[in-house]
Amino acid sequence: MDDPGLPERHFRNSGIPTVTDERLRQVSPLRRALVRPELGAICGAILVFVFFFMIAGDSGMFGPEGVQNWTVVSAQFAIIAVGACLLMIAGEFDLSVGSMIGFTGIVVAILSVQWGVPTWAAILIAFALSMAIGALNGILVIRTGLPSFIVSLAFLYILRGLTIWLSILTTRQTIIGGVRDAAEGDWLAALFGGVIFKGFFQWLGDIGVIDTFSRGTRAGQPVVEGIPMLVVWAIALIIFGHILLTRTKFGNWIFAAGGDAQAARYVGVPVNRVKILMFMFTAFCASVFAICQVMEFGSAAADRGLLKEFEAIICVVIGGALLTGGYGSVVGAALGALIFGVVQQGLFFSGAESSLFRVFLGTILIMAVILNTYIRRLITGERG
């Protein structure tokens, strides 16, 4: 039967009762607390810590050096995961992150070591170049309407090839050393290498909280010198990304661009600009990673960053983001990076076969995706 329509009287009555759906009230606070993107990552992080505390608790993994060890590795993952996370929420992928890492490193090395450009200028030029390439990536995706998966896959190859070619062309080899010497005393390079809070850690060493070296040139110095700049960058990027995403107008547009680009455009969200900016931000993060690594090793290599794009994406997915865009969390991605780092180093500390790391990765990825799909159903109330 057809809908009977509404009786006239009903409309003319000013005190129309408001519609309440009593079924909605039965949602438990527990379920509400559970339905958040970070849930899986929080549980995962706790599990991983408990696990390694049990099997590797006495191996030094949770001593000062051990902590520094997995913190640095996690921070590396976190830096690229923040970029990948925002981009994925905006509905796009960037598979060229790994190649971008190699590219930025080589650009800095060629400019500063080979051409004698001051390191600060080399770093700025490298950032400008990588972000321009990120923008090009984004513009191509927007203009062609092709999936970013394909466009950035092309860039994965183009950039890697270009990097190796550039490196061989200028130095006849794929590794360029001497970057640290060139960067000596450079103000900008100092932001990417070295440590902060040296004094505090020296004091911790002096009072015996942290072990100190007993022999050699560094006798009396604490085994952990300070907080590496890499970790500072990671924390800064996580805080920036989290606030941008959850607290600002632009963050709302990131969700909207990935959630439903057409609906977002219709209400005036500049979807194209948002997506292109996110490609640029991903490139920026890759460059931060690359420059920190170059400053740490003192050299750049054309093959750096291999597979990093996938590791970043895995962190983001473990962190609860949906591969289809429109949903996710920077904090979740950071926890994903932490899980990643702790497991990788934990297996090392517990003396396990390092190849098991990949087995673990694949397994946890599948589990995360299944959990995310389930959470998504809870949120959207997808019926069927």
Partner 1 sequence: MTETQPIIEMRDIEKHFGPVIALNGVSFDIRAGECHCLLGDNGAGKSTFIKTMSGVHKPNAGEILFEGKPLKFDSPRDAMEAGIATVYQDLAMIPLMSVTRNFWMGREPEFRFGPLRFIDFKKANRITMEEMQRMGIHLREPEQAVGTLSGGERQTVAIARAVHFGAKVLILDEPTSALGVRQTSNVLATIDRVRKEGIGVVFITHNVRHAHAVGDRFTVLNRGKTLGTAARGEISAEELQDMMAGGQELAELEGSLGGTV
Residues at the interface with partner 1 (CB under 8 A): 2-6, 10-11, 16-21, 24-25, 27, 243, 247-249, 251-253, 255-256, 259-260, 262-264, 266-269, 322, 326-327, 376, 379-382
Tell me whether residue 24 or residue 219 sits nearer to partner 1 (CB atom). 24
Q: Which residue's structure tokens are 């440590």?
A: 195
Question: Angle CA(10)–CA(15)–CA(21) in degrees, nearest 5?
Answer: 85
Tell me whether residue 18 or residue 214 sits nearer to partner 1 (CB atom). 18
Output DSSP code: residue 222.
B
- Measured CA to CA, the distance from residue 6 to residue 57 in angstroms comes to 70
Tell me whether residue 8 or residue 184 sits nearer to partner 1 (CB atom). 8
- Measured CA to CA, the distance from residue 257 to residue 282 in angstroms comes to 16
- Measured CA to CA, the distance from residue 252 to residue 113 in angstroms comes to 43
Q: Which residue's structure tokens are 């931060």?
A: 288
State in angstroms the smallest separation of the CB of 98 from partner 1.
29
Q: Which residue's structure tokens are 């590797």?
A: 56
State in angstroms the smallest separation of the CB of 332 from partner 1.
15
State in angstroms the smallest separation of the CB of 238 from partner 1.
17
State in angstroms the smallest separation of the CB of 361 from partner 1.
27
Please report which residue ranges of 110-197 form alpha helices under DSSP H: 119-144, 148-171, 179-182
State in angstroms the smallest separation of the CB of 34 from partner 1.
14
- Measured CA to CA, the distance from residue 226 to residue 244 in angstroms comes to 28
Tell me whether residue 27 or residue 50 sits nearer to partner 1 (CB atom). 27
State in angstroms the smallest separation of the CB of 142 from partner 1.
18
State in angstroms the smallest separation of the CB of 247 from partner 1.
5
Tell me whether residue 219 or residue 267 sits nearer to partner 1 (CB atom). 267
State in angstroms the smallest separation of the CB of 316 from partner 1.
16
Tell me whether residue 211 or residue 260 sits nearer to partner 1 (CB atom). 260
Tell me whether residue 256 or residue 317 sits nearer to partner 1 (CB atom). 256
Tell me whether residue 228 or residue 325 sits nearer to partner 1 (CB atom). 325
- From residue 304, alpha-carbon distances to 87, 113, 181, 211, 286 in Å are 22, 18, 20, 33, 11
Question: Facing residues of 196 across strands?
Answer: 227
- Measured CA to CA, the distance from residue 174 to residue 258 in angstroms comes to 38
State in angstroms the smallest separation of the CB of 377 from partner 1.
9
- Measured CA to CA, the distance from residue 343 to residue 346 in angstroms comes to 5
C-beta separation of 151 from 141 below 8 A: yes
C-beta separation of 260 from 269 below 8 A: no
Single out the residue of 43, 40, 49, 103 nearest to residue 74, CA to CA.
49
Tell me whether residue 110 or residue 375 sits nearer to partner 1 (CB atom). 375
Single out the residue of 113, 112, 163, 164 nearest to residue 133, CA to CA.
163
Single out the residue of 190, 203, 198 nearest to residue 229, CA to CA.
190
Q: Count Cα neighbours of 376 within 13 Å in the Cβ-side half-sphere.
A: 18
Q: What are the φ/ψ torsions at residue 61 (nearest 5 degrees)?
A: -65, -30
- Measured CA to CA, the distance from residue 336 to residue 231 in angstroms comes to 15
Tell me whether residue 41 or residue 111 sits nearer to partner 1 (CB atom). 41
State in angstroms the smallest separation of the CB of 15 from partner 1.
11
